[in-house]
Structure 1
Amino acid sequence: MRTLIVDDEPLARARLKRLLSAHTQIDCIGEAENATDALNLVQQLQPDLVMLDIEMPDTDGLALAETINQLPLPPAIIFVTAHPQHALDAYSVGPSDYLLKPVDASRLKTALERVGTPTRAHIEKQDELNPWISYQVGNSLRRIRFDKVQYFMAEDKVVKMVFDGGEAILNESLNRIEASYQGLVVRAHRHLLINISRMNTLNKIDGLYFVSLYGCDERLNISRRKASELKIYIFHNHSSA
């Protein structure tokens, strides 16, 4: 578990790192002494866990935790503090645990085991960013995560969902799908919704615009007036890759 230690006291960081070294599943990938450096390292290193002090000189750990939780894939957070009065406020930002200094080795072990079980906050965040979508195959109801979906196409009065490895007919209109997955899909033309995260390139051929998707061999025709909007999503996908 890739772990970042954040504490403004060097001795506290050293002691915590020593305690963590007893756990073979923990890989301490970095340290930070303030919130600004910590946020930069979280974005650069993508840790699985942040051991976070609360009282720091610039931005406190509670405010930093709220910022971290807004990231697309936030790490788990264990607060480590000498001040028990922060406990109630700390739990409002959904940490995995709350440890008091000096950290007890057995209590740390329990906290690390707890990180292995996703908290409700992290499950809810995952479902918000990458929800399940259900579809019918014969008499069976199946579901996949939204990041596996490529696009939705309305044709012959039905909506076809194309996903990695297959396709299915949905009993939903494009308008309903667009409303249900707002922010995850974009209307490419009247009969087509595209998974925003799957868009790769946009090309103009003989006056017509086509978009290609990651994992999809098909080129999809899009409306001319939507081309500029889709270019923005494609640029964002490439810059965040």
Structure 2
Amino acid sequence: MLKIAICDDQPRELEIINKYIKEYLDGHILDAEMKKFAHPDTLLTAMETESFHLYLLDIVMPMVSGLELGQSIRRISREAQIIYITTEPGYALDAYAVNPLHYLIKPVEKRALFSVLELALSKVDSGKEITVTVKTKEGLRTLSTGQIACCEYKKHLACYTLIGGEQVETTTLACGFAEHIAPLLRDARFLSPHVSFAINMSRVEKLAREGFYLREGGFVPVSARQHAAVRNAYLNYRLSREEN
């Protein structure tokens, strides 16, 4: 499902943008979830536990500007599409530091927004989102691959690190770890650099000789035997994202 976040501190503008996007989605029969945020802090809080495919952001907002918000989004995801919507054309050059898809000036013209939405959705990979359901001590938990930064095998358990740092630990696995992570590896973002790990390559902060450093603060080693193959797979992933 496509997930869209709209952030604007002006209630009227927020409702207009929301109305236009809903009209576009209904007209194209697209399955999507939209969330409105009247303050950047509330969006930042939401981003601790969930991710969005598309962000539409005002630039001039209290406390945290849209430019700062865009930088926070980029620390979480290089793949998310960002569209800036503002009354201030002078910020356009600064805005491109976070590689936004487009920059629209208020009052937003519906036709211009629809055109940008069409471009954004052509770049979003929401239809390929894979989910895994795991058994924990608290019960069943369904996770989307977009939520997962890393999965590690520990003492017959699988420990998931989610975007934002939350840890989800399964009960004892009823199968081998390789079989357990097979659904994750069907997602092009995922790689198994070691028999005890699967990582989301979009969450990599740095690749060093000894392994991957993740944005969530963790470290994932690379098997010496697989080092060349893993390095090439990661570089190919990065190149493919830059081309897109």
TM-score, normalised on structure 1?
Answer: 0.52
Offset of 1:185 from its aligned partner? 3.4
Offset of 1:192 from its aligned partner? 9.2
Quick one: percent identity of the two aligned structures? Answer: 24
Q: Is the 8 A contact 1:6 1:34 kept in 2?
A: yes
TM-score, normalised on structure 2?
Answer: 0.52
Equivalent residue, structure 1, for 2:10: 9
Deviations 1:111-161 (A, max 9, x none): 112213449xxxxxxxxx99xxxxxxxxxxxxx957332527xxxxxxxxx
Equivalent residue, structure 2, for 1:147: 190
RMSD: 3.7
Distance in 2 (alpha carbons) for counterparts of 1:36 and 1:116: 26
Q: What is the SS of the residue equivalent to 1:56?
A: coil
Is residue 186 of structure 1 aligned with residue 221 of structure 2? yes
Please show how residues 160-179 of structure 1 align to structure 2 within 5 Å.
179=209
Distance in 2 (alpha carbons) for counterparts of 1:103 and 1:146: 34
- Where does structure 1 differ by over 6 angstroms across 4 or more consecutive aligned residues? 190-193
Deviates more, 1:28-37 or 1:47-56: 28-37
Distance in 1 (alpha carbons) for counterparts of 2:113 and 2:31: 12
Larger radius of gyration: 1
Please show how residues 1-241 of structure 1 align to structure 2 within 5 Å.
1-24=2-25, 25=30, 27-72=32-77, 75-118=80-123, 147-149=190-192, 151=194, 179=209, 181-183=211-213, 185-186=220-221
Change (3 A) 1:182 1:43: closer
Unaligned segments of structure 1, at least 5 residues: 120-128, 131-143, 153-161, 164-176, 194-241
Q: Is the 8 A contact 1:178 1:185 kept in 2?
A: no
- Give 2:6's aligned amino acid: I
Distance in 2 (alpha carbons) for counterparts of 1:145 and 1:31: 30
Deviates more, 1:19-28 or 1:105-114: 19-28
Change (3 A) 1:5 1:178: closer
Q: How many residues align?
A: 150
- Give 1:179's aligned amino acid: R
Deviations 1:88-108 (A, max 9, x none): 111111111111111111111
Change (3 A) 1:83 1:146: closer
Change (3 A) 1:101 1:178: closer
- Give 1:102's aligned amino acid: P
Deviations 1:66-103 (A, max 9, x none): 01110156632110101111111111111111111111
